[in-house]
Amino acid sequence: MFSERKVLLVVNPISGDKDKEEILLKVAAKAEEDDYVLSIFSTTGVNDLGEIRNLVKNLCPDRILVAGGDGTISMAAEAVTGTDIVFGIIPAGSANGLSADFGLSSDLDEAIEVAFGDQSIHVDAVRINDEISLHLSDIGLNALLVKNYENGDIRGKLGYALEMFKTLNEHENFRVRITTESATLETEALVVIIANAKKYGTGISINPFGDMSDGLFEIVIAKRIDFIETAKFLTGNASFDHDVMEVLSVENAKIECLDREVYFQVDGEYKGEVRELNASILKGFVRIAVP
């Protein structure tokens, strides 16, 4: 008997401050062309994870497409983990770091072709306390920037640029102890990044050693601002000064903030202040459609 193929489109109506009408129309047209029955879920910001989990259970889609920013993409990925559903990304956030890491085009037609295409790879995620991170999470300077951005009035890259001045004035370094399966390290830090991927959505490549499918994540520690050493690190030059930048490839890590609570963000979502994080790799977490 012929069984119909189903695709679920998850849309965040507010991400990136962009109208999603064109996305809806183009995805509907492509679904019809490829003989998929399309269902649409628009996020509300309240219990979206639970709602998407229920939809996945009841609809049993073959494919799920997500039109939103990194926060929506990570949340929807969490809803499908443990299934073999192909996950397609339609970049529609203010920064879109995840799609940049997968080499996805920002052109809508191309992104839709890939999201409905046959190529896919399994990618890892990192569990950090009760959160799932597919991309980049951190404590310190950048998390404070994310907090200030969320409280600011201006969305998009301009919003980030404006909040950067305020953030640099407000930030103070902190002391941290990092315990991994192979080492313990204690240092002062500007930022500690838990990196499954390579690039922030701003295009800054913070983890040149990152591979989202290698069964490892990186802990990147920037100890202080030093432009030359930071530039060496960011360009993948392995001779950077370890007094300035440090990178550890690990499966598990415990991060303790020794002198105070520190700002924490996960995939671009501010999560409050924390004293301790426990991070572990989740291998092959989700199957993502790629070019």
User: Where do contacts with ligand ATP occur on this chain (CB under 6 A)?
Assistant: 12-17, 43-45, 68-72, 93-95, 155, 268-269
Count Cβ atoms below 10 Å from residue 50 Cβ, excluding itself. 10
When the beta carbons of 189 and 195 are compared against ligand ATP, the nearer one is 195
Cα 251 off chain centre by:
18
Shortest Å, Cβ 255 to ligand ATP: 23
- Maximum CA pair distance of the chain? 65
Residue with the shortest CB distance to ligand ATP: 69
CB 185 within 8 A of CB 220: no
Shortest Å, Cβ 95 to ligand ATP: 6
When the beta carbons of 112 and 189 are compared against ligand ATP, the nearer one is 112
CA dihedral 269, 271, 272, 273 (to 10 degrees): -110
Shortest Å, Cβ 105 to ligand ATP: 17
Shortest Å, Cβ 149 to ligand ATP: 7
When the beta carbons of 149 and 233 are compared against ligand ATP, the nearer one is 149
CA distance 273 to 174: 13
Shortest Å, Cβ 269 to ligand ATP: 5
**End-to-end C-alpha distance for the chain, whole angstroms:** 32
CB 140 within 8 A of CB 189: yes
When the beta carbons of 15 and 173 are compared against ligand ATP, the nearer one is 15
CB 140 within 8 A of CB 289: no
Between strands 191-195 and 136-140, the pairing is antiparallel
Beta strands in the chain (DSSP E): 5-11, 36-42, 63-68, 86-91, 120-128, 131-133, 136-140, 174-180, 184-189, 191-195, 217-222, 245-250, 252-257, 262-266, 269-274, 276-289
CA distance 102 to 286: 13
Q: Which of 105, 198, 92 is nearest to 155 (CA)?
A: 92
When the beta carbons of 94 and 207 are compared against ligand ATP, the nearer one is 94
When the beta carbons of 80 and 244 are compared against ligand ATP, the nearer one is 80
Shortest Å, Cβ 220 to ligand ATP: 21
Shortest Å, Cβ 150 to ligand ATP: 7
